[in-house]
Amino acid sequence: MARQQVSTAPISPWAVVAAILLPPLGVFMVRGITPAFWLTVVLTLIAWLPGVAIALALLLIPERIPIR
Protein backbone atom coordinates (compact mmCIF):
# COMPACT_ATOMS: atom_id res chain seq x y z
CA MET A 1 0.00 0.00 0.00
CA ALA A 2 1.39 3.39 -1.00
CA ARG A 3 1.90 6.08 1.58
CA GLN A 4 -0.43 9.04 1.07
CA GLN A 5 1.01 12.48 0.45
CA VAL A 6 -0.07 15.06 3.02
CA SER A 7 0.14 18.78 2.45
CA THR A 8 2.61 20.59 4.67
CA ALA A 9 1.13 24.02 3.95
CA PRO A 10 0.43 26.07 7.07
CA ILE A 11 -3.12 25.89 8.37
CA SER A 12 -5.10 29.11 8.29
CA PRO A 13 -5.90 30.53 11.73
CA TRP A 14 -9.47 30.98 10.47
CA ALA A 15 -9.72 27.23 9.88
CA VAL A 16 -8.67 26.57 13.48
CA VAL A 17 -11.22 29.08 14.80
CA ALA A 18 -13.89 27.51 12.58
CA ALA A 19 -12.91 24.04 13.84
CA ILE A 20 -13.53 25.17 17.41
CA LEU A 21 -16.83 26.96 16.76
CA LEU A 22 -18.25 24.70 14.03
CA PRO A 23 -15.98 21.66 13.56
CA PRO A 24 -17.18 20.49 10.11
CA LEU A 25 -16.56 23.96 8.67
CA GLY A 26 -12.93 23.94 9.76
CA VAL A 27 -12.33 20.53 8.19
CA PHE A 28 -14.17 21.59 5.02
CA MET A 29 -11.99 24.70 4.67
CA VAL A 30 -8.82 22.60 4.63
CA ARG A 31 -9.79 19.19 3.21
CA GLY A 32 -13.07 19.77 1.36
CA ILE A 33 -15.93 17.28 1.39
CA THR A 34 -14.09 14.06 2.19
CA PRO A 35 -14.66 11.15 4.59
CA ALA A 36 -12.91 13.26 7.25
CA PHE A 37 -15.57 15.95 6.79
CA TRP A 38 -18.41 13.45 7.18
CA LEU A 39 -16.76 11.90 10.24
CA THR A 40 -16.60 15.35 11.79
CA VAL A 41 -20.27 15.99 10.94
CA VAL A 42 -21.37 12.75 12.61
CA LEU A 43 -19.28 13.33 15.72
CA THR A 44 -20.51 16.92 16.00
CA LEU A 45 -24.12 15.76 15.74
CA ILE A 46 -23.51 13.28 18.56
CA ALA A 47 -21.81 15.88 20.74
CA TRP A 48 -19.89 19.09 20.11
CA LEU A 49 -16.70 18.17 22.00
CA PRO A 50 -15.84 14.99 20.02
CA GLY A 51 -16.37 16.95 16.81
CA VAL A 52 -13.98 19.67 17.98
CA ALA A 53 -11.40 17.10 19.09
CA ILE A 54 -11.30 15.25 15.76
CA ALA A 55 -11.44 18.48 13.74
CA LEU A 56 -8.44 19.94 15.57
CA ALA A 57 -6.59 16.64 15.28
CA LEU A 58 -7.26 16.51 11.53
CA LEU A 59 -6.06 20.08 11.09
CA LEU A 60 -3.06 20.18 13.40
CA ILE A 61 -1.55 16.69 12.97
CA PRO A 62 -2.66 15.59 9.48
CA GLU A 63 0.31 13.30 8.78
CA ARG A 64 -0.79 10.91 11.52
CA ILE A 65 -4.44 10.78 10.41
CA PRO A 66 -4.58 9.75 6.73
CA ILE A 67 -8.34 10.17 6.28
CA ARG A 68 -8.66 12.14 3.06
Q: What is the pLDDT of residue 54?
A: 94
**Rounded to the nearest 5 degrees, what angle is found at the Cα of 42, between the Cα atoms of 36 and 48?**
105
pLDDT exceeds cutoff 70 at 24: yes
Q: Has residue 2 been placed in a domain?
A: no
Q: Is residue 1 part of a domain?
A: no
**Between these two residues, 6 and 20, which has the higher pLDDT value?**
20
Residue 30 forms part of a structural domain: yes
Residue 37 covered by a domain: yes
**Residue pair 26/18 in contact by the 8 Å Cβ criterion:** yes
* Residue ranges making up the domain that contains 22: 13-64
Tell whether pTM > 0.85. Answer: no
Structurally, how many domains does the chain consist of?
1
48 within a domain of the structure (yes/no) = yes
* Predicted pLDDT of residue 1: 47
